[in-house]
Amino acid sequence: MLLGQLAQVEEQLAAYKRFDQEYQAQITREKEQMQSKHKEELEQLKTAVEKQTEARLQKQWKTRLLTFSRFLSAVARRRQDEDMNEEGKAFEAILQYVYSGDPSAVTAAEKLIDGVEEHVPNVDGAPFSVTCTASLVRR
């Protein structure tokens, strides 16, 4: 009788161990699936954020180029009018700085695009009373 009960308990123990192994295997599979799904969602989110950031940067870049293009257009109009008042001379000075082809040309273009409110220096260094702002360029 005791041997029968022992055999029955051992059988139950073996069944519980099999159940535990199956349960642990199921938990491991579910965990791997969840981790895989989470990783995929993170990758999708990362891709979406990168695309949004790239689109925003492209828009900003195009806006900056449009401002620069408007400056060049304004200079061209002023040249046609042969308007050489102080504002016209300031436009020419800025254009000369932009066309210099060195690092200061980049700085001049950035200041123009950003609408930095500072007096425009003449090519000889003396500042004009005109400031370089986006509103001046957009006329």
Domain boundaries, the chain: 2-137
Q: Side chain identity at 101, as an amino acid letter?
A: G
Question: What confidence score (pLDDT) does residue 134 get?
Answer: 47
Q: Name 107's Cβ contacts closer than 8 Å, sequence gap at least 6.
A: none
Closest by CA to 130, choosing from 114, 105, 112, is 112
Mean pLDDT per 10-residue section of the chain, whose length is 139 residues: 86 94 96 97 97 95 86 77 73 81 84 80 74 54
Question: What confidence score (pLDDT) does residue 13 get?
Answer: 94
Question: What confidence score (pLDDT) does residue 31 get?
Answer: 97
Question: What confidence score (pLDDT) does residue 83 get?
Answer: 58
Q: How many CA atoms lie within 13 A of 102 on its CB side?
A: 4
If DSSP codes are grouped into helix, strand and coil, which group holds residue 120? strand
pTM for the structure as a whole? 0.57
